[in-house]
Amino acid sequence: MTRALSSSLSGLRQLFPPDRILTTPARMAVYGSDALAALNQLPGAVVIPETATEVVETVRFCHRNGIPFVARGSGTSLSGGSLPVAEGVVIALNRLNHILRLDPDERIAVVEPGVVNLAVSRAAEPFGLYYAPDPSSQAVCTIGGNVAFNSGGAHCLKYGMTGNHVLGMELLLPDGTVTEVGGDSRDSVGPDLNGFFVGSEGLFGIALKTTLRLLPIPALYRTILGAYDSLEAAGDAVTAVIASGLLPGAMEIMDRLAIKAAEVGARAGYPLNAAALLIVELEGEARTVEADFTRLVEVIRTSGAREIRVANNADERARIWKGRKSAFSAVGRLSPDYIVQDGVVPRGRLGEALVGIERLSRIHGLEVANVFHAGDGNLHPLILYDGRVPGGLERAEELAGEIIALCVELGGSITGEHGVGIEKLAHMPKMFGPAELACMEQLRAAVDPERIANRGKMLPGGLS
């Protein structure tokens, strides 16, 4: 610990009782990494505020002393977004977990940053409402983390990701300024500052309060599962569904390895000998959904599916989703280690992307399981490796990098929902030119001249 930090820590100690400021390696260990477990870094201190005022005081303290800080929700970031900065302060926001207001007539919820995603839908359910974005991690991840990464989920095809559901925020800028953007209305005047803050990965400061829009729980879900003999056939079925003019709420594909993982890990009961599974779900008003579902079944039937399962009730629906929702963690049963990758390609080039991934997987001699949000071209290749083998991680990372480069080549993006964090810093120049990177750095510097908020993340220039 440098002298600057240790002397200023005494100032920080005045803001928190001893049990809510952690400074020893043993007590800070759990904060040393996020879900990108390959990276680990102990901070100078971890503070555990219980009120917004304590968060504000902490950030002001950091700003006065030039100490970097990292906001942290549940630490489920898959890109190293909540990795601590050495000599910096981690601000753990989990205890700010109150839903401050839930107004069913206005259909909004105003929440603290540490509120868990699923808790919002649970609270809204008695009023017939829910919060739409549903990351697979929704039982643990926080709204603050969702805001920072513009998180999505399987059901974001129709109503969008986190950014489409944030109406207003109280922001704590990195110099301690507290300011409001947006409001309670679904409409707004002026630049879309909500939309600009969402996805900024903590570089613009901390979301202290967030106003979320709630939607009525759909009257009916109809879910269909199709099993295919090849990934291409499943990909073509996606194209056919889109071309038919239907607007599903979710459209997901799993490949052979992912199906196997789901079976081993979650006893999903999927057709085991299939090369690919496609799940398509319609949601909405009963009459429309029933009519559309008849058409959907027809599209799937003529798409070369060798087996079709239709969910006829909530239980059967849950069974179809169970395997998909647990696919990430289930892959852990197949391999000692794995990297969850996240890239986007134009929907029409899914087939090419999958063939490319297969080729890269062969070249590198590493297995890749594919689980993806097919409806919006968002791939999640899971790269299996053994970290105990020397060079194993490096080989897996190399393959991951080549997959991402492939996504960019095909006209897509280096990330659809997991963010850049630290993991993808090196890929930013593939996606953006010098003018864009400079522009983003200027924006960052204008908001945070000392670059104390989540230093070293998202912007490659921010490393220095």
Partner 1 sequence: MTRVPIRDVQDVQEAVQTHPRLLSVGGGSKPALSSPLISPSGSSPDDTPVTLLDVSALRGVVEYDPGEFTFTAGAATPVAEISAMLAERNQYLPFDPPFAARGATLGGTVATGLAGSMQYRFGGVRDFLIGARFVDGRGQLIRGGGKVVKNAAGFDLPRLMVGSLGRLGILTEVTFKVFPAPAATATVYAEFPSLELALEALIRLTRSRFDLEALDLVPGSLMISEGSISEEEPRTQEGSVPGESRTEGRPASGATLLARIGGVADGLPARQRQVAEFLTGGNQSGASAPPVSVSPVLVSTSGTPDHDVTHWAAMAEMNWCPEGWSLYRVPVTPARVAALDRSWSAEGAIRRYTSGAQTAWVAWPGEESQLNRLLRAAGLGALRVDGPPSRQPWIGTIPGGPFLERITSALDPDNRFDLPGIWPRADVSHG
417 touches ligand FAD by CB under 6 A? yes
Least Cα distance to 182 among 173, 197, 192 occurs for: 192
* Type of residue at 86: A
Binding partner of residue 287 among partner 1, ligand FAD, none, CB cut-off 5 to 8 Å per kind: partner 1
Of 43 and 412, nearer to partner 1 (C-beta) is: 412
75 touches ligand FAD by CB under 6 A? yes
Smallest gap from residue 318 Cβ to ligand FAD (A): 17
- Do 351 and 358 meet the contact criterion of CB atoms below 8 Å apart? no
Of 47 and 181, nearer to partner 1 (C-beta) is: 181
Of 356 and 416, nearer to partner 1 (C-beta) is: 416
Per-residue 3-state assignment (H helix, E strand, C coil) for the chain:
CCHHHHHHHHHHHCCCCHHHEECCHHHHHHHCCCCCCCCCCCCCEEECCCCHHHHHHHHHHHHHHCCCEEEECCCCCCCCCCCCCCCCEEEECCCCCCEEEEECCCCEEEECCCCEHHHHHHHHHHHCEECCCCCCCCCCCEHHHHHHHCCCCCCCCCCCCHHHCEEEEEEECCCCCEEEEECCCCCCCCCCHHHHHCCCCCCCCEEEEEEEECEECCCEEEEEEEEECCHHHHHHHHHHHHHCCCCCCEEEEEEHHHHHHHHHHHCCCCCCCCCEEEEEEEEECHHHHHHHHHHHHHHHHCCCCCEEEECCCHHHHHHHHHHHHCHHHHHCCCCCEEEECCEECCHHHHHHHHHHHHHHHHHHCCCEEEEEEHHHCEEEEEEEECCCCCCHHHHHHHHHHHHHHHHHHCCCECCCCCCCCCCCHHHHHHHCCHHHHHHHHHHHHHHCCCCCECCCCCCHHHHC
Query: Which parts of 127-146 interact with ligand FAD (CB under 6 A)?
Result: 135-137, 141-142, 144-146
Binding partner of residue 25 among ligand FAD, partner 1, none, CB cut-off 5 to 8 Å per kind: none
Smallest gap from residue 127 Cβ to partner 1 (A): 7
Of 8 and 142, nearer to ligand FAD (C-beta) is: 142
328 touches ligand FAD by CB under 6 A? yes
CA–CA gap between residue 429 and residue 434 (Å, rounded): 7
Give the x/- contact pattern for partner 1 in 189-228, rule: CB under 8 A.
Answer: xxxxx-xxxxxx---x-----------xxxx---------
Assigned token pair, 56: 């504000």
Query: Which parts of 418-457 interact with partner 1 (CB under 8 A)?
Result: 418-420, 424, 428, 431-433, 435-436, 438-440, 442-447, 449
Assigned token pair, 74: 């549940």
Among 28, 127, 236, 392, binds partner 1 (CB under 8 A): 127
Stretch that binds partner 1, among 223-231, 268-276, 286-294, 317-325 (CB under 8 A): 286-294
Q: What are residue 369's phi and psi, to 5 degrees? A: -100, 140
Binding partner of residue 93 among partner 1, ligand FAD, none, CB cut-off 5 to 8 Å per kind: ligand FAD
246 touches partner 1 by CB under 8 A? yes
Query: Which parts of 380-409 interact with partner 1 (CB under 8 A)?
Result: none
Query: Which parts of 149-208 interact with ligand FAD (CB under 6 A)?
Result: 149, 151-153, 201-202, 206-207
Of 77 and 303, nearer to ligand FAD (C-beta) is: 77
Of 204 and 385, nearer to partner 1 (C-beta) is: 204
Query: Which parts of 133-162 interact with partner 1 (CB under 8 A)?
Result: 149-150, 152, 156, 158-161
Binding partner of residue 454 among ligand FAD, partner 1, none, CB cut-off 5 to 8 Å per kind: ligand FAD
Query: Which parts of 22-61 interact with partner 1 (CB under 8 A)?
Result: none
Smallest gap from residue 325 Cβ to ligand FAD (A): 9
253 touches partner 1 by CB under 8 A? no
Binding partner of residue 346 among ligand FAD, partner 1, none, CB cut-off 5 to 8 Å per kind: partner 1
Stretch that binds ligand FAD, among 57-65, 67-75, 263-271, 305-313 (CB under 6 A): 67-75
Among 32, 49, 68, 81, binds ligand FAD (CB under 6 A): 81
CA–CA gap between residue 158 and residue 137 (Å, rounded): 20
Smallest gap from residue 197 Cβ to ligand FAD (A): 8
Smallest gap from residue 51 Cβ to partner 1 (A): 22
Q: What are residue 22's phi and psi, to 5 degrees? A: -110, 130
Smallest gap from residue 205 Cβ to ligand FAD (A): 7
CA 77, 79, 84, 90 dihedral sign is negative
271 touches partner 1 by CB under 8 A? no
**Strands 69-72, 89-92: pairing kind:** parallel
Assigned token pair, 221: 């879900």
Smallest gap from residue 305 Cβ to partner 1 (A): 20
Which residues sit at the interface with ligand FAD, rule CB under 6 A?
Answer: 34-35, 70-78, 81-82, 93, 113, 135-137, 141-142, 144-149, 151-153, 201-202, 206-207, 328-329, 417-418, 454
